[in-house]
Amino acid sequence: MSGAAPPARAVSPLQRLVQGAPLRQPLHVALVHFPIGLLTLGTLADVASRIADVPGIVRVAGWLLGFGLGAAGIAAVVGFVDWWDIRADHAAKRLGIYHLAANLSAVAAYAASALVRRPDLDAAATPGLALALSVAGFALLGAGGYLGGHLVYQEGIGVGRHRRATGTPADTLHGRERRAEGWADVAPREALGPGETLRVEVDGIVMAIADIDGRLYAFGEFCTHRFGPLSEGSFEGHEVTCPWHGSCFDVRTGEVVRGPAKAPVATYEVTARDGRILVRATGP
Amino acid sequence: MKAFLQGAWLGHPLHVALVHVPAGLWPAALAFDLLANAGVGGSSLPRAATFAIALGLVVALAAVAPGFADWVDIDHRKPASRLGLAHLSLNTLALLVFAAELRMRLGWPADVRRVPAEAVWLSVLGTILVAVAAKIGSRMVFDYGTSVARLSKDRWRRIAAEGGTRVDGGGDGA
């Protein structure tokens, strides 16, 4: 049993704003176009300065790096908030750290490149060290961007998040403590507020538990279409909508209300007893 | 060929990786021109803007075919399919606007410090077009899940199966 950590999180209006809920997309993803575009062009200008005679290009590249670094700094802060929000045991939590590390290294390399060239911005070509740092920065930026693409398209981070009114589960709870008749004890009842969800594992079965108007419902965590996380879904009445492709299920029966999913999700018995949430994972 | 354009070798969509360059650089070109006209940066910023428009055009052209390859996989009855057409149309217009502006700018001397109003207005128009198009593209991904978990569906199927989910109903689409 692990009811110690707060399993569901409140989400503040400021966090929703920084995460881009009013935009209906992650703000971080919109912002990163600017550093990626500007720093890429900066490196290209540095390389061009060594190949062709373009007067003033070192200064132009310096401006590009300066603006690119400023934009990267803003995007980083917003991205960190998105990372904070990822469930602790999600594979993307670690991937996000690599994404951050690669991009911060890129920023460091570009910043060093900008500093190295600063004494002679009217040089005919970007000096060797500044060029090397700029190219290294570009490689790191590519790696960071690649991992960012993985976070969205492989892991589904940020997809459909703006539709969710409450915070998403901070971790998966493991129902290891048993009561009579196969009930597993997963959390204190007060861990789950109205409109919130828990992500729970019992005997290897992963499920979502939702509090809808004070009543508890337990159902399969994975959408039956592309297996998106229903514990991060949005709720309307007794219907949960998958954040990824919008499949909608009735949490009382598990039946599909709206596709693309075709198969129902499993439902499980759940109850509140003596201030604890108990579930029975008897399988689908 | 379709798998290559969709970015199967990359692990995620090629189109969305490429579009960061024009979507970032074209609005930046407008910002550079406005800063230059405010007296910042001498001739460096108008030149940076010209380079930004040029690289944006090259990468935007490269992004068309991969974007189309992503689009043909969307079920035509779904809203994301029509959004994709609007996204393509507006981006094509943005591309034409910036191509016209680049032609104009290539005729300028290297030491231009003030950007003529007609070039600024073209950048404003192109930036609005690409911003709306990008917004539609982001709606396809973050509202409708286009290309999300497409290349990772086998891994998710395994994770879901291990977590006690029936995985025989995993469908196509989106």
The answer to whether A33 touches B24, Cβ cutoff 8 Å, is yes
* Shortest Cα distance, chain A CAs vs residue B44, angstroms: 5
Residues in A touching B106 (Cβ below 8 Å): none
Alpha-carbon gap, residue B157 to B91, rounded angstroms: 35
**Are A78 and A117 within one domain?**
yes
Residues in B touching A158 (Cβ below 8 Å): 142
Residue among B11, B55, B150 minimizing CB distance to A150: B11
Residue B169 has what pLDDT? 52
Pairing type for strands A197-202 and A248-250 reads unpaired
Range of the domain at A78: 27-157
CB contact under 8 A, B160 and A60: no
Final residue of a structural domain among A113, A131, A157 = A157
Task: Per-residue pLDDT tens, chain A, 284 aa: give them.
Answer: 444 445 556 678 888 888 888 888 899 999 999 999 999 999 999 999 999 888 889 999 999 999 999 999 999 999 999 999 999 999 999 999 999 999 999 999 999 999 999 988 888 899 999 999 999 999 999 999 999 999 999 999 999 999 988 888 989 999 888 888 889 999 999 889 888 999 999 988 999 999 999 999 999 999 999 999 999 999 999 999 999 999 999 999 999 999 899 899 999 999 999 899 999 987 44
Residue B3 has what pLDDT? 83
CB contact under 8 A, A261 and B162: no
Q: What is the number of residues in chain B? A: 174
Tokens of B70: 């992503």
ipTM > 0.95, yes or no: no
Taking the CA of residue A81 as centre, how many other CA atoms within 13 Å lie in the half-sphere pointing to its CB?
A: 20
pLDDT, average across residues B6-28: 91
Pairing type for strands A248-250 and A239-241 reads antiparallel
Residue B77: Cβ within 10 Å count: 8
At position B165, the amino acid (one-letter code) is T
CA dihedral B62, B132, B127, A107 (to 10 degrees): -70
Residues in B touching A45 (Cβ below 8 Å): 51
Domain boundaries, chain B: 2-162
- ∠ CA B84-B88-B89, rounded to 5°: 120
Tell me which of B89 and A4 has the higher pLDDT. B89
Tokens of A53: 């005679």
Q: What is the number of residues in chain A? A: 284
**Are A31 and A138 within one domain?**
yes
**Are A228 and A180 within one domain?**
yes
**Are A128 and A210 within one domain?**
no
**Are A38 and A135 within one domain?**
yes
Put simply, whether B145 touches A (Cβ < 8 Å) is yes
Residue among B20, B44, B170 minimizing CB distance to A37: B20
Helix H or strand E segment including A201:
strand A197-202
Tokens of A22: 């009013």
Put simply, whether B110 touches A (Cβ < 8 Å) is yes
**Are A180 and A245 within one domain?**
yes
Final residue of a structural domain among A133, A157, A181 = A157
Mutation target to probe the B interface, by most B beta carbons within 10 A, among A19, A245, A249 is: A245
Residues with Cβ < 8 Å from A232, sequence gap 6 or more?
Answer: A160, A161, A164, A168, A169, A197, A243
- Does B133 score more than 90 pLDDT? yes
Count of structural domains, chain A: 2
Q: Which residues share a beta bridge with A241? A: A234, A248
pLDDT, chain B, mean: 90
- Does B171 score more than 70 pLDDT? no
Residues in B touching A29 (Cβ below 8 Å): 138, 142
The answer to whether A186 touches A202, Cβ cutoff 8 Å, is yes
Tokens of A169: 């589960």
Residue of A nearest to B141 (CA): A159
Residues in B touching A206 (Cβ below 8 Å): 163-165
**Are A66 and A135 within one domain?**
yes
Residue among B138, B155, B174 minimizing CB distance to A29: B138
**Are A102 and A33 within one domain?**
yes
Put simply, whether B109 touches A (Cβ < 8 Å) is no
Residue A272 has what pLDDT? 93
Final residue of a structural domain among A157, A179, A213 = A157
Residue A13 domain-assigned? no
Pairing type for strands A197-202 and A234-236 reads unpaired
Alpha-carbon gap, residue A226 to B149, rounded angstroms: 7
pLDDT tens figures, B66-80 = 999 889 888 888 888
